[in-house]
Structures are given as C-alpha cells and as structure tokens.
Structure 1
Amino acid sequence: MQRRARGANIGLILLLSQVFHVGINNIPPVTLATLALNIWLFLNPLKSLHSSCLSVDQCYWQGDWQRLLLSPIHHADDWHLYFNMASMLWKGAKLERRLGSRWFAYVIITFSLLTGVLYLLLEFSLAVLMDEPNFQRNCAVGFSGVLFALKVLNNHYCPGGLVSVLGFPVPNRYACWAELVAIHFCTPGTSFMGHLAGILVGLMYTQGPLKKIMETCAGIFSSMDYPGRQHYFNSSGYTGYQHHVPPGRPGAFDASPRNYDAYTAGLSEQEQLERALRASLQDRGNARSNSPPYGFRLSPEEEMRLHRLQRFDSH
C-alpha cells in the first residue's frame, strides 16, 4: 500500500481553512491536539502506509504490534485526512466539552487501541469462518474507526431526532448503522470491518462494561499519580481536583448530589451544555451574532438552542 499522490493537497487546505473558520481558540485542547497530530503525521509520516496499516498477517503472525498505534494516525491521502479530521473537529468539540478534556483524551487513546484490536479479531474470525485467508491480509489505515465509536457516544448523549443518510431520514440512534452500510456501498475501498469495530467499541462503552473498567483504571492510576490529592475522572461531566469530599466518604468517584452540585452549581446536564455554549459565544466576543462557534455542521436542535440563548442574552 503506497500513499496516493497528494498533488496540491486540496483536502489539507480545506481542512486548515475549516479549522481557522471555527477558530483555534474555540477548539478544545484534546481535539486540537488530535487534529495537529494527524496533520503533522500526514506531512511527516513515521512510516509508509505499507508499514503502518493494520492487518492480522502483519500484527499477529509477523508480531508487528506497533501498527496498533500507527494505523489510526496515518491517512492514505489528503481527502482521507480531510473527511476524518473534519468529522473529528465536530465530534471532538461536542464530546470534549461534555466529558472534560482529561476523560476525552483517555477515551480517544482507549478507543484507538480497542478499535484496532477488535478489527483484528473480526478479520481473523471472518477468515476462519469463510475459510478465506485473504481476510487476514486486509490492511486498514486511518482514524475513521475511532470516529464511528465517537459517533455512538454522541448519539447516546443526544438521543432522539433524525439525521439524513443519502437523503433518507434515519433516527439518530440508528444513524451509525445506516452510515456503515451507506459508506460500504458508496465507497467500496473503505474498511467495513474497521468501521464496524468502531461501532462495537462505542457500544461496549455505552451499553457494556468498558466505561466501568475505564473508571476503575482511572481511579487506580490517578491515586498513584497524585498522592495526597484526590483527583477525579468524571466520564459524564468535568474533570479537575476534588476539594469538597464529605468527611468519611473518600474516593475518586463520589456520586453524591452534594459533590456533584459543587462542580455543576446545581445545573442539569442540559443547562450545563447551554452555559458552555453561551460561554463559547462570549469568548469569541460575538455573543449576539447568528454565527455559532461550531456552526458549519450544527444539528437543527442545536441551532434552535443557540437562538434561544441569544434571545435570552438580549433581554
């Protein structure tokens, strides 16, 4: 597998223009770092695509496990990079503000590794079930598997509503499955198993034990990293240092209402999101304009929410 000719790198130019249109200061830090890393490695790849793509043959049989780290952050060409990173810009901005930067970074790293592992398991299983060794040589590269996992998270936190897939309205909760099929038929060169692995990792987090396992690991390692200070990871809110732990109730995951209110000021998740959106608008010095900070792909529900916030601010 060789990197396709980049020509004028139109996809990279479009991606950079989109980043500057949103505003670097309006992109949360982990999302921005992920974009920067992928762009840098596209311009200065650590290895060729042939040496970084992920396959059962190269990883399992040849023992080249570093491909689990290399594959998600290398892309075939500038358009591959553009579509993946434009999607990351949108999904990352939403999820990082909701989950907090520390937890979101933890999610990105975990999802990147697990998506690769699950991809290998799926390809190996398919090769055995169909008695077709060629499946073990299928080589995948790119960030799209992780993006499918993030899409499952986004749909989990924002249920309801419809999205358009190839012009057909699809309930939000089924959108990732519809897109999986649509992309496979419209773009045969994409990795169906890689995308499916991403969806399954997302479901493991939202419906399975993955979130609990990550919380347990975060609690163990945060205690080791910050002796004497109780650091907490909150996978559904903000992250930071905990200074208001009630006596007799130590621990990194205190979910009592009093502790929660200390960090949310008693606001519901919806109110927290609206406050964050309002703060983002004010940071841009344009709180009363009709141009939202992430407006290039806002859903209709979010546009209505922003309009309500702007009317509220004007009174």
Structure 2
Amino acid sequence: MQRRQGRVNAGLLLLLYQISQVGLQNIPSVTLGVLALNIFLFLNPVRPLSEVCISVNEGFYRKNWQRLLLSPVHHADDWHLYYNMISMLWKGIMLEKKLKSIWFAYIIAVFSVLIGVVYMVLEFMLVKILDDPSYEMHCAVGFSGVLFALKVLNNHYNPGRVSSILGLQISSKYACWVELVAIHLISPGTSFAGHLAGILVGLMYTMGPLKKIMKACTGYIFHRRFHRTLVIQPVTHVCLAV
C-alpha cells in the first residue's frame, strides 16, 4: 500500500468534509461505525490489496476464507473509498433508522460475507459457461457489493420513488439493475459480478428466504442462551446454599 504515501488523498478529505457537513450526531451508530472502520483500514490496511481481495482461486481453492471478511472493508484508492462511503452514509441513515441499529448491524455482517460467497459462485459459473479459467483469478475488493444489496433493501422499504441515472428517470424498482449496467459501461474495471452478487443477496433478503433464516438464527441463539440461564441458575443456588 505504499502508493498512498506522499500524496494528498483528495477523496478522503472530501469524504471527511461531507461527514462533517452531515454532523456526527446525525449519523446512526452502526453507519458511523462502518464509515470509521473503512476509513481506518484505508489508512492502516491489514495487508496489501492483493492479499485481501476475494477470488475463486484465493477463496475457494486456497481456502483463504478470511478474505470474505477483509475484502469488503478495503479499497483500491481514496476515490473508491469516497464513492462507496458517501453511498453508505445516505443508505445507512435511511435504513438504520427504519430497521434499528442491532438488526442493521446484523444485516451488514451477513451481507458482507454472503456477497463474497455469491461472487465466487458467479465467477465459477462464468468459468464453466465461457470455458475461460481467467475468471477464477478475478479478485474483487471494496464495499460496493454490500451497497448494491442495501440499495435493493432501500427500494423495497421505500417503493414508488424515482432515481435519476445518467439523466434518465428510472423507477426505484429497476434502478439497481440500470445502475449495474451503467457502472459497468462507464467503468469497465469495476466488478460486474461483485455488484450483481450484491443485488442477488438483496433480493434473497427481500423476496427470498434469507430474512427468515436470519431471524431463525437469532431466535435459536436467544433460545440457547435463555435455556442455559435456566439450567445454570439452580446450580448456582445450590452452590451458594452449600
């Protein structure tokens, strides 16, 4: 990551300015935490990008599963960080207030990992369909996949809105799909599969079984803790009595 030293990170400075304009007191806690984590890791990366990005080769074949956790919170440069975190700022403010902080944090955590898994599945499918093993080496990094998933959630919870994309007025119902294609055409270097993975995970939550599975998991954890408390309490009383 030596390339970041010795130059002004204009994107980072602009991001900090935008955050100050909104005001820290107006940013919900989880959203603020996500912003802080991504900024911190941009300035103090855990490893070089080549060692945190996720790909079929690194994630599936080499079993470097920690990349599922590291890849979403590392960014290629300051402008990559800026655009992703500005998007996170506004989506987070809208969604966290609606979904509440604990559930929103749960969504961010699950989406961050699951999108990496879906991304690898999509790239593996491209290898088989196109008979091109180079897709196994495509390595993705950044928070944009999670942002596409949050866009699906935001459109789901706020239906009937209209988004402006390249000057075109698009219904929020289709906005994520149009933006997916538009970003790929404007910036061919971006990860189409990574963004598509985000949309698919968002749809798995709003239209598929993901939300029910997540609720079932939290219910199971709560039940286990409650059951263990009931079992431990009588033993504690016996010990005290002795």
Q: TM-score scaled to structure 1, two decimals?
A: 0.70
TM-superposed CA distance for 1:219, in Å, is 1.0
Q: Which residue of 2 aligns with 1:151?
A: 151
Unaligned runs of 5+ in 2: 230-242
When the two structures are aligned, how many residues end up with a matched partner?
228
Amino acid at match of 1:173: K
Separation in structure 2 between the aligned mates of residue 113 and residue 197 of structure 1, nearest angstrom: 11
Separation in structure 2 between the aligned mates of residue 96 and residue 77 of structure 1, nearest angstrom: 27
Separation in structure 1 between the aligned mates of residue 126 and residue 101 of structure 2, nearest angstrom: 37
Residue aligned with 2:30, SS: helix
Q: Which residue of 2 aligns with 1:73?
A: 73
Larger helix percent: 2
Q: Which residue of 2 aligns with 1:278?
A: none
TM-superposed CA distance for 1:221, in Å, is 1.3
Amino acid at match of 1:68: L
Judged with a 3 Å threshold, the aligned counterparts in structure 2 of structure 1 residues 228 and 5 are, in CA distance, closer, same or farther, namely closer
Q: Which residue of 2 aligns with 1:56?
A: 56
Judged with a 3 Å threshold, the aligned counterparts in structure 2 of structure 1 residues 172 and 60 are, in CA distance, closer, same or farther, namely same
TM-superposed CA distance for 1:60, in Å, is 1.0
8 A Cα contact 1:49 1:76, kept in partner? yes
Unaligned runs of 5+ in 1: 230-315
Judged with a 3 Å threshold, the aligned counterparts in structure 2 of structure 1 residues 153 and 3 are, in CA distance, closer, same or farther, namely farther
TM-superposed CA distance for 1:222, in Å, is 2.5
Separation in structure 2 between the aligned mates of residue 15 and residue 117 of structure 1, nearest angstrom: 29
Q: Which has the higher contact order (CA 8 A, sep 6+)?
A: 2
Separation in structure 2 between the aligned mates of residue 27 and residue 145 of structure 1, nearest angstrom: 22
Superposed CA RMSD in Å reads: 1.5
The reply to whether residue 105 of structure 1 matches residue 105 of structure 2 is yes
Amino acid at match of 2:213: I
The reply to whether residue 24 of structure 1 matches residue 24 of structure 2 is yes
Residue aligned with 1:34, SS: helix
TM-superposed CA distance for 1:225, in Å, is 4.1
Q: Which residue of 1 aligns with 2:177?
A: 177
1:57-116 deviation digits (Å, cap 9, x = unpaired): 111111111100000000000000000000000001110000000000000000001100
Separation in structure 2 between the aligned mates of residue 129 and residue 160 of structure 1, nearest angstrom: 37
TM-superposed CA distance for 1:9, in Å, is 0.4
1:231-264 deviation digits (Å, cap 9, x = unpaired): xxxxxxxxxxxxxxxxxxxxxxxxxxxxxxxxxx
Judged with a 3 Å threshold, the aligned counterparts in structure 2 of structure 1 residues 161 and 130 are, in CA distance, closer, same or farther, namely same
Mapping of 1:106-125 within 5 angstroms? 106-125=106-125
Q: Which residue of 2 aligns with 1:89?
A: 89
Separation in structure 2 between the aligned mates of residue 225 and residue 45 of structure 1, nearest angstrom: 36
